[in-house]
Chain A
Amino acid sequence: MDVIVCLKQVPDTETKIKINPEGTGIVTEGIKYVMNPYDEYAVEEALKIKEKFGGTVTIISMGPARVVDAIRNALAMGADEGVHLNDPAFEGSDSFTTAKILSKVIKDMKYDLILTGKQAMDFDCSQVFGCLAELLELPYVSVVTGLEISADGKTAIAKRETEGGVEEIIQMPLPAVVAAQKGLNEPRYASLPGIMKAKKKVIKEINLTTLGMTASEVGEAGSKMKTKNFQLPPERKAGKKIEGEPPEAVKEIVRMLHDEAKLI
């Protein structure tokens, strides 16, 4: 089984996000970047499949030079190869354009499964892999909490969460695109020999030219979605505490829900 894992490097979830004065993006200075937490589940699942079926695990990530850290991290966990899509022209690509770029790289590769996280914790769009599956004409299952590959490696059964706590079980032919949800597994911590080995691995760099696309097809130019500006969400107001004995307190809540919140 050859598995491709697409991952993204995102700001650490504890980062205090600041908007730049022009409102065109966030202040990137002083941000710690980490592998998108959902992508960690994807990497772990890929490694487990490799342990069971053999084959290789290839990591693909797009972004500036810093992204190499996230790729190395996955290599340290046990992945075999890394591909880095790095070109200033790629910057500003929206989900669809990203999927286009990815599909361009992946379509010439040998693979049985594409794994990824259900969404990236920066923009939370959750769009790329639907698009990618479409472009590659593959089945796509997201929010997956369990994945079973058949012994012959031809099909897979995925468990996925749906709203309302209902669990769907989906059988699909392989190759397919599967996006991981928390709970799929417990990602491993890279061993030190793994880290050392990963440091020495050559990561394949792909830029616009080697990819064979033009600047107008990628980045902001090639995107269908344009970002007007960035704003922080309004600060959440402090909650209200209702004092008093339960019978009075309940009356007060009902009154507030009715008069103020206008919910009932």
Chain B
Amino acid sequence: MEITREIFWNVGSWVRWPVYGLGLLVVIIFILGLVKRFRLWRIGKPDIRNDQILKRIGTVLSYGLFHKRILKEPYPGIMHLFIFWGFLFLLIGTALIFLQEDFTRLIFDKVFIQGSFYLTFSFILDLFGLMAIIGVLLAAFRRYILKPERLDNKLEDAFGLLLIFLVLVTGFTNEGLRIAVTRPEFERYSFVGWEISKIFSSSEQAIASLKTAHVVCWWFHVLLAFTFIGYVAYSKLIHLITSPLNQFFRSLTPQGEIKPIPDIENQETFGVAKLQDFTWKQLLDTDACTRCGRCQDNCPAHLSGKPLSPKKVIQDLRNHLNQSAGNLKKQGGGQEETVPIGGNVILEDELWACTTCAACQEACPVFVQVIDKVVDLRRYLVLMESKFSPEVKLFFKNMETNSNPWTIGFATRADWAKDLNLKNLSENKEVEYLLWVGCSGSFDERNRKVSRSLVSLLQKAGVSFGILGSEEMCCGETARRMGNEYLAQILMQQNIELFSNYGIKKIITLCPHCFNTFKNEYHQFGGNYRVFHYSELLLNLYQEGKLKWKTGIEMKAAYHDSCYLGRHNGIYNAPRMLLNSLPDTKVVEMKRNRAKSFCCGAGGGRMWMEETLGKRINQLRVEQIAATGASVVATACPYCLTMLEDGIKEKGLEKGLSVLDITEILDKAC
């Protein structure tokens, strides 16, 4: 017997014509749906995203095809992997059949799905089909029985799952019915169909009814499959298209970089008020979101009970896009929206709750960005409407007059270093590095100690460096994240001018926020420097033997990753290696560490705002620290230090737990 199967067995090969017709219709419906979405994205502003093609393809392969991020969580990861790969193989199988029936056989009378290939083909398709069914069942179980908080259930979720399930089940039933009637022994390879066929009696009398059942089931399957394809373009299943697209067009600039408002002096409006003010990529983001909720599960604002959820922000924007779809025209034309998005679609409390920690973006499997939208919407509130809390206003005013967030005169900026015998660049600019102290290290009593430790270490290692003294200004990082792009640009440009006057090429920063801004943002205004966070530099010095530890420090220390060092700049190891290099110091990890680290609550300007909604983020982090049993939490960021120290005091844990900056620990050892 020939090992193959008749593709249109029992239904007759004439069905190809109605199936073609239906198929064509479905493809048109599908394309129309996509075009509709495409046109919605196009109302956005331009953004160039076709550079580094290979890297982009690589992203789609590793994060799309191979689920690199999705698999970080085992249950939903495997669940999705099963459905995805199951369907992918079924799609390939169907495509092969199409190729054979409608090309090779029709034109060359060649059947290639036969013999041992047929057997492998049957086995693999049954295996992957089964995987898909298991995946769907896992998904349904999770969604409707386990009900994780991060999933919200809509009708489309149930409908989608049911549709997929029925397509798979009817497919297998077809196979079972066919095998029950034809019963070739080699069909054992179609093992699922084989088992199903056993359900049906294959007596002579039954055959006729089995055949009828097959025809009915076959059509049912075809109709369901087509419904599925059409439905993709009109439901959340569109993520089949938009997610890989979004992965392809992902941002390849550093995570910590915020895009400038270009040519700010000559713009008329600032920030985002309406959908057209977003870029097309930002709008695509909203369509790529699958509502998986991973972002929200990692968001410190959400976890501390604030009104912000990154998933909700993206979904609210998406719904807004859908609602506005009717009266949107391309930018410049059409009906203008009357109310700005910030404050109406996304509430002010949501926007101001974001710490720009990037935990959401790091978790998102499809590379949806939230921070860019938050900052764009804040920009509108701040620059156009002057809508912000009194604390934020005070911050801006202080920045304007004294270039620091406190109401402290700028002239006292270098008072912390009075007795340290440090040279200002104005006295001696022939140094290798500028030590950029930053506002916290200069003005905050506690962080001034950190500055002194750092200076002591640099001096011991014989590094040639100087400071700017009272010429130093704020780097502009925080004002920028608070949406005051104008103030930020003024500060940045003034600093760049100062740096070029002194011919500065290398900068050491105490603070990861300054570090991020110099490294990733100053180039926007022509400032290009080699920037080191002290942790990297000290590690180098230690490895070169220029820093030596005289004593060990006996303690159990938990290292708290600063968002702007870790997630935004990928520096996870240097601080840990420094701590581990100390004899007798034991470094322990918190449950949320490295890329999954939990923000201290200070980023994005939150340091300078009251935290009245929900729980306090710093206290949540302190609880996580306390759970490790560490006696010291080591930090490498002045904001984190302040927040955690406050958190420890607020929780009354000062007795057993203290915060030390890494420089303070190291300085004690050498």
Q: A16-B411, A16-B412 are in contact. Are A191 and B383 (CB under 8 A)?
A: yes
By beta carbon, the residue of chain B nearest A31 is: B411
Asked whether B21 is an interface residue with its Cβ less than 8 Å from the other chain, the reply is: no
Q: Is the CB of B486 within 8 A of A195?
A: yes
By beta carbon, the residue of chain B nearest A15 is: B409
Return chain B residues, CB-CB under 8 Å to A34.
401
Q: A14-B402, A32-B402, A186-B390 are in contact. Are A192 and B411 (CB under 8 A)?
A: no
Choose one: A13, A190, A196; the contact of B386 (CB below 8 Å).
A190
Return chain B residues, CB-CB under 8 Å to A30.
411
Return chain B residues, CB-CB under 8 Å to A191.
383-386
- State how many angstroms separate the Cβ of A40 from the closest Cβ of chain B: 10
- State how many angstroms separate the Cβ of A93 from the closest Cβ of chain B: 26
Q: Is the CB of A196 within 8 A of B396?
A: no
Q: Which of A33-47 contact B (CB under 8 A)?
A: 34
By beta carbon, the residue of chain A nearest B393 is: A189
Return chain A residues, CB-CB under 8 Å to B128.
none
Q: Is the CB of B408 within 8 A of A192?
A: no
Q: How far is the CA of A56 from the CA of B486 in the complex (A)?
A: 27
- State how many angstroms separate the Cβ of B443 from the closest Cβ of chain A: 11
Asked whether A112 is an interface residue with its Cβ less than 8 Å from the other chain, the reply is: no
Q: How far is the CA of A189 from the CA of B479 in the complex (A)?
A: 14
- State how many angstroms separate the Cβ of B609 from the closest Cβ of chain A: 15
Return chain A residues, CB-CB under 8 Å to B265.
196
Q: A186-B390, A195-B486 are in contact. Are A12 and B385 (CB under 8 A)?
A: no
Return chain A residues, CB-CB under 8 Å to B393.
189
Q: Is the CB of A12 within 8 A of B401?
A: yes
By beta carbon, the residue of chain A nearest B408 is: A14
Q: Is the CB of A192 within 8 A of B486?
A: yes
Contact with B along A170-207 (1 / 0, CB 8 A): 00000000000000001011111101100000000000
- State how many angstroms separate the Cβ of B116 from the closest Cβ of chain A: 72
Asked whether B407 is an interface residue with its Cβ less than 8 Å from the other chain, the reply is: yes
Q: Which of A2-40 contact B (CB under 8 A)?
A: 12-16, 30, 32, 34
Q: How far is the CA of A32 from the CA of B398 in the complex (A)?
A: 11
Return chain B residues, CB-CB under 8 Å to A15.
409, 411
Q: How far is the CA of A202 from the CA of B641 in the complex (A)?
A: 48
Q: Is the CB of A189 within 8 A of B402?
A: no
Contact with A along B354-396 (1 / 0, CB 8 A): 0000000000000000000000000000011110101001001
Centre residue among B388, B401, B412 by max chain A CB count within 10 A: B401
Determine the main DSSP class of B at the interface with A. helix
By beta carbon, the residue of chain A nearest B406 is: A14
Q: How far is the CA of A48 from the CA of B475 in the complex (A)?
A: 35
Q: Is the CB of B384 within 8 A of A192?
A: yes
Return chain B residues, CB-CB under 8 Å to A13.
407
Q: Which of A47-94 contact B (CB under 8 A)?
A: none
Q: Is the CB of B408 within 8 A of A188?
A: no
Choose one: B384, B407, B410; the contact of A32 (CB below 8 Å).
B410
Q: Is the CB of B411 within 8 A of A188?
A: no
Contact with A along B394-421 (1 / 0, CB 8 A): 0011000110000111111000000000
Contact with A along B407-449 (1 / 0, CB 8 A): 1111110000000000000000000000000000000000000
Asked whether B41 is an interface residue with its Cβ less than 8 Å from the other chain, the reply is: no
Asked whether B499 is an interface residue with its Cβ less than 8 Å from the other chain, the reply is: no
Asked whether B270 is an interface residue with its Cβ less than 8 Å from the other chain, the reply is: yes
- State how many angstroms separate the Cβ of B621 from the closest Cβ of chain A: 32
Asked whether B47 is an interface residue with its Cβ less than 8 Å from the other chain, the reply is: no
Return chain A residues, CB-CB under 8 Å to B610.
none
By beta carbon, the residue of chain B nearest A191 is: B386
Q: How far is the CA of A196 from the CA of B383 in the complex (A)?
A: 11
By beta carbon, the residue of chain B nearest A196 is: B265
Q: Is the CB of A14 within 8 A of B409?
A: yes
- State how many angstroms separate the Cβ of A132 from the closest Cβ of chain B: 28
- State how many angstroms separate the Cβ of A32 from the closest Cβ of chain B: 5
Q: Is the CB of A12 within 8 A of B386?
A: no
Return chain B residues, CB-CB under 8 Å to A196.
265
Q: Is the CB of B386 within 8 A of A14?
A: no
By beta carbon, the residue of chain A nearest B407 is: A14
- State how many angstroms separate the Cβ of B411 from the closest Cβ of chain A: 6
Centre residue among A188, A189, A193 by max chain B CB count within 10 A: A189
Return chain B residues, CB-CB under 8 Å to A12.
401-402, 409
- State how many angstroms separate the Cβ of B669 from the closest Cβ of chain A: 37
Choose one: B384, B397, B407, B412; the contact of A193 (CB below 8 Å).
B384
Asked whether B268 is an interface residue with its Cβ less than 8 Å from the other chain, the reply is: yes
- State how many angstroms separate the Cβ of B86 from the closest Cβ of chain A: 53
Centre residue among B270, B383, B385, B412 by max chain A CB count within 10 A: B383
Return chain B residues, CB-CB under 8 Å to A189.
386, 388, 393, 396-397
Q: Is the CB of A16 within 8 A of B409?
A: yes
Return chain A residues, CB-CB under 8 Å to B409.
12, 14-16, 32
By beta carbon, the residue of chain B nearest A189 is: B386
Return chain A residues, CB-CB under 8 Å to B411.
15-16, 30
By beta carbon, the residue of chain B nearest A187 is: B393
- State how many angstroms separate the Cβ of B403 from the closest Cβ of chain A: 9
- State how many angstroms separate the Cβ of A229 from the closest Cβ of chain B: 24
Return chain A residues, CB-CB under 8 Å to B264.
192
Return chain B residues, CB-CB under 8 Å to A193.
268-270, 383-384
Q: Which of B204-227 contact A (CB under 8 A)?
A: none
- State how many angstroms separate the Cβ of A201 from the closest Cβ of chain B: 15
Return chain B residues, CB-CB under 8 Å to A186.
390
Centre residue among B265, B269, B397, B409 by max chain A CB count within 10 A: B409
Q: How far is the CA of A122 from the CA of B486 in the complex (A)?
A: 29
Return chain A residues, CB-CB under 8 Å to B390.
186
By beta carbon, the residue of chain A nearest B386 is: A189
- State how many angstroms separate the Cβ of B627 from the closest Cβ of chain A: 41
Q: How far is the CA of A13 from the CA of B393 in the complex (A)?
A: 17
Q: How far is the CA of A226 from the CA of B412 in the complex (A)?
A: 33
By beta carbon, the residue of chain B nearest A40 is: B397
Q: How far is the CA of A195 from the CA of B384 in the complex (A)?
A: 10
Q: How far is the CA of A206 from the CA of B393 in the complex (A)?
A: 34
Contact with B along A89-110 (1 / 0, CB 8 A): 0000000000000000000000
By beta carbon, the residue of chain A nearest B392 is: A189
By beta carbon, the residue of chain B nearest A34 is: B401
29 pairs from A and B in contact (CB 8 Å cutoff): A12-B401, A12-B402, A14-B402, A14-B409, A14-B410, A15-B409, A16-B411, A16-B412, A32-B401, A32-B409, A186-B390, A188-B386, A189-B386, A189-B388, A189-B393, A189-B396, A190-B386, A191-B383, A191-B385, A191-B386, A192-B270, A192-B383, A192-B384, A192-B486, A193-B268, A193-B269, A193-B383, A193-B384, A196-B265
- Contacts A32-B401, A189-B397 supplied; 5 other A-B pairs, CB < 8 Å: A14-B409, A32-B409, A191-B384, A191-B385, A193-B269
Residues of A at the B interface (CB closer than 8 Å) are 12-16, 30, 32, 34, 186, 188-193, 195-196
Q: Lowest 10 CB-CB distances: which A-B pairs, in order? A: A14-B409, A192-B383, A189-B386, A12-B401, A191-B386, A32-B401, A192-B486, A189-B393, A192-B270, A34-B401
